[in-house]
Amino acid sequence: MSDTSEMPPNTLYVEVSGAGIPEVDGLFVPSEAEPATSESGTLSSPGYWNGKMAWDRADGKSARSPALSYSNSYRSWRICRLDGHLAYDCTCDDALPPVDREWHVYKKGVAPAPSVTIHHFDPRQPCPEPNVVFVIGGPGSGKGTMCELAEIQLGWTHLSTGDLLRAELGSEGPQAVEIKKYIDAGELVPNDIMMRLLKESMERITRTTGRNNFLLDGFPRSLNNMKGWHEHFGGDIALPTMLYFECPYDELERRVKGRAKYSGRSDDNLQSLRLRFDTFKAETLPTVDFFKKENCCVEIDTSQDRQSVYAKVVESLDRFTDNTLAVQPLQPRAEILLGLKPYPKQ
Ligand code: UP5
Ligand code: MG
């Protein structure tokens, strides 16, 4: 694993699609505008404007510097056209230009409306390598709960392979029928589907948010999955660490029965649970043995209470976790996941 988590997401790539203003497309780098007083009276410093980061076009073609910056007066992020006039804006207080919502087209009259995608990394360059930790355990062993906590509290990105598959089902994509067949039978979906979903998600997240610490919840489920991993992510890269959640079957059954009352999952019933557990023993445990032999497995007893389990997870992720996030107070959702506050009524 490479420690690219230290790499600040300071390069933005703006991509306009539809009938937008294509001249706005391109790579943006931290602004070198001379310190000046902005329209709201805030004194800027190099690379900053109105107290937030600001960018210039990398090709220097814009008549205005910074060409992408925040306006305090309008409380919005703004991207300029080459002539310096406004092209797109997005009203919000976000610290960085938002990458997860539509930007407003400043001058209407273009139809259909374009959408602007901001990549934190130039998509023409290879995507920075992800830092990956695998999280494996039986159905109901607490993978989703602990990964969600690590996402909220520690800034890791939680990617549940099961959730990726369910999202694909929900979107009724071309492979939805095939995926449903495997999930309902408690069997593993073929490698090519799983690898495509994983690779696309990780790249999209890193390129648009700059985040590249990933917890892969529920992967690898089999030695065959590991083969697919090496084929798609390279055979030479170091083996990721695996967190293995050990929990006895009776406890798994008790938890999944409890979750079935509200989860809406088609596989949260006793029959599917037994099939999933059989698949886990037959297919997944051999991968755990493999990681143990390679000295890359951290075993955690997850039959313990949530707070004890979480403390072990924090310790295991310590090396790649942003220290400033690690010491922040518990978020309200984290208090619920840790059992310190009740779940909201469904
Ligand atoms: N809970 C959690 N921790 C607790 C604790 N310490 N003490 C007390 N209670 C605790 O937890 C389950 C329940 O237990 C929750 O109610 C929680 O509050 C409580 P959860 O965190 O949801 O457990 P998790 O391990 O995530 O259980 P899940 O059922 O999601 O695991 P599965 O591995 O079975 O499900 P997944 O969604 O990963 O996969 C579903 C299917 O997708 C598979 O069966 C397979 O068909 C397919 N799939 C593939 O084919 N390939 C893949 O790579 C991935 C999935
Ligand atoms: Mg889960």
Q: Collapsing DSSP states into helix, strand and coil, what is residue 123?
A: coil
Helix (H) or strand (E) holding 295: none
183 CB near ligand 1 (under 6 Å): yes
Domains annotated for the chain, with CATH where assigned, are 4-119 (no CATH), 131-337 (3.40.50.300)
Residue 311 and residue 146: Cα distance in Å, rounded? 10
Could you tell me if 252 and 273 are in contact, meaning their C-beta atoms sit under 8 angstroms apart? yes
Over residues 186-240, the pLDDT tens digits come to 888 999 999 989 998 999 888 888 888 999 999 999 999 999 999 988 877 789 9
Average pLDDT of every residue of the chain: 89
132 CB near ligand 1 (under 6 Å): no
Say whether pLDDT at 118 is over 90.
Answer: no
Among all ligands shown, which has an atom nearest to the Cα of 303? 1
How high is the pLDDT of residue 108? 58
Over residues 119-138, the pLDDT tens digits come to 888 888 888 889 999 999 99
284 CB near ligand 1 (under 6 Å): no
- At residue 4 the predicted structure's pLDDT band, cuts being 50, 70 and 90, is very low
- At residue 109 the predicted structure's pLDDT band, cuts being 50, 70 and 90, is low
- At residue 43 the predicted structure's pLDDT band, cuts being 50, 70 and 90, is confident
Residue 320 and residue 150: Cα distance in Å, rounded? 12
Q: How much is the pTM? A: 0.80
- At residue 111 the predicted structure's pLDDT band, cuts being 50, 70 and 90, is low
Among all ligands shown, which has an atom nearest to the Cα of 216? 1
How high is the pLDDT of residue 49? 87
Q: Collapsing DSSP states into helix, strand and coil, what is residue 171?
A: coil
Say whether pLDDT at 296 is over 90.
Answer: yes
Say whether pLDDT at 7 is over 50.
Answer: no
Terminal Cα distance for the chain, rounded: 40
Say whether pLDDT at 326 is over 70.
Answer: yes
Could you tell me if 313 and 281 are in contact, meaning their C-beta atoms sit under 8 angstroms apart? no
Over residues 58-88, the pLDDT tens digits come to 999 999 999 999 998 899 999 999 999 999 9
How high is the pLDDT of residue 102? 83
Top mutation candidate among 132, 135, 136, 141 for ligand 1, by most atoms within 8 Å of CB: 141
